[in-house]
Structure 1
Amino acid sequence: MADLKATFEAAVAASKQLPEKPDNMTLLKIYSLYKQATEGDVQGKRPGFTDLVGRAKFDAWDSLKGTSAEEAMQSYVDLIESLK
């Protein structure tokens, strides 16, 4: 777990240095995996229909409900590696 956490933190740093900005769907995947890995299942109410960005982020994170922190960290690392 300690190795995975270190690898995850390195991937988080690397995500800020990507050669080009990923498309919006990939950005949502990065966001949702990060939130699932660091905070667990989504909490709170889904944003209203006028908050399109907040709603998309909520839905992306909610789609990972039940995913373990370790699984989310590994998926995050794999995704960032594929974008380098």
Structure 2
Amino acid sequence: MVSQEFTDKANAVNGLTKTPTNDELLELYGLYKQATVGDNNTPQPSVFNMKNNYKWKAWDKLKGTSQEDAEKQYIKLADELLQKYN
């Protein structure tokens, strides 16, 4: 179960006035999935499905990170992005 702070940050990031870089968005995605789902146990998408493949890799590289640590990292990154893009 994620904290209210995590939920608030996720909502705030969705309302950014400028779009973060693709790398920042992928890192955010991976941390979000790790914090809310845990380790990635889904099959890797086809290399021809580039967008989903990048998202899968961003999540998969966090395998072994606890959901609590991923949540803390997500909140920290969200704070940085909110400062940078709002």
- The alignment's C-alpha RMSD in Å is 1.4
List per-residue Cα deviations over 1:17-74 (Å, max 9, x = no partner).
2231101000000100000000000022111111101111111100000001110111
Q: How does 1:21-60 map to 2 (within 5 A)?
A: 21-60=19-58
Which 5+ residue runs of structure 1 have no aligned equivalent? none
In 1, the alpha carbon distance for the partners of 2:66 and 2:3 equals 13
Runs of 4+ aligned residues of structure 1 deviating over 3 Å after TM superposition are none
Identity %: 38
For structure 2, list consecutive stretches of 5 or more residues without a partner in the other structure: none
Aligned residues: 82
The DSSP-based 3-state class of the residue aligned with 1:72 is: helix
Superposition map of 1:3-82 within 5 A = 5-82=3-80
Paired with 2:49 and 2:17, the residues of 1 have a C-alpha distance of: 30
- CA–CA separation in structure 2 for the residues paired with 1:19 and 1:12: 14
